[in-house]
Amino acid sequence: MVGGLQRLDGLRPIHVVQGEQYVTDDPEAVLTTILGSCVSACMRDPLAGVGGMNHFLLPGARPGETDSVRHGVHAMELLVNALLGRGARRERLEVKLFGGARLIKGLTDVGALNAGFAEEFVRREGLQHVGGSLRGDSGRRIQYWPGSGRARQVFLPKQAEELIAIETRTPKPAPAQTGALELF
Partner 1 sequence: MPAAASISVVVVDDQQTMRSLVRTGLQQLGFKDIREAGDGEAGLRQVLTGTTHLVISDFNMPKLDGLGLLRAIRSHEPIRGTAFIMLTGRADKELVQRAVQFGVNNYLVKPFTVAQLKEKIEAVFGPLT
Q: List residues binding partner 1 (CB under 8 A).
A: 66-67, 69-71, 73-74, 76-78, 80-81, 84-85, 90, 121, 124-126, 175-177, 179-181, 183-184
- Is 122 exposed, middle or buried (CB count within 10 Å of its CB: 0-12, 13-18, 19+)? buried
Residue 100 burial (CB < 10 Å; 0-12/13-18/19+)?
buried
Q: Which is nearer to partner 1, 4 or 171 (CB)?
A: 171
In this complex, which beta carbon is closest to partner 1, that of residue 127 or of residue 151?
127
d(CA 48, CA 89): 8
Q: Which is nearer to partner 1, 88 or 166 (CB)?
A: 88
**Rounded to an integer, what distance in angstroms lies between the CA atom of residue 18 and that of residue 16?**
7
Q: Taking the complex as a whole, how short is the minimal distance between the CB of residue 174 and partner 1, in angstroms?
A: 8
Residue number with CB closer to partner 1 (8 or 78): 78
Q: Which of 105, 100, 115, 98 is nearest to 36 (CA)?
A: 100
| Smallest distance, partner 1 to C-beta of residue 82, A | 10
Instruction: Report, in Å, the least distance between residue 127 CB and partner 1.
Output: 10
Assign 70 to helix, strand or coil.
helix
Beta bridge partners of 45: 50
Residues acting as catalytic residues? 38
Give the shortest CB-50-to-partner 1 separation in angstroms: 15
The span from the CA of 40 to the CA of 146, in Å, is 13
Q: By C-beta, is 62 or 90 nearer to partner 1?
A: 90
Question: Counting Cβ atoms within 10 Å, is residue 106 exposed (0-12), middle (13-18) or buried (19+)?
Answer: exposed
Strand partners for 97 = 41, 132
Q: In angstroms, what is the minimal distance from the CB of 184 to partner 1? A: 5
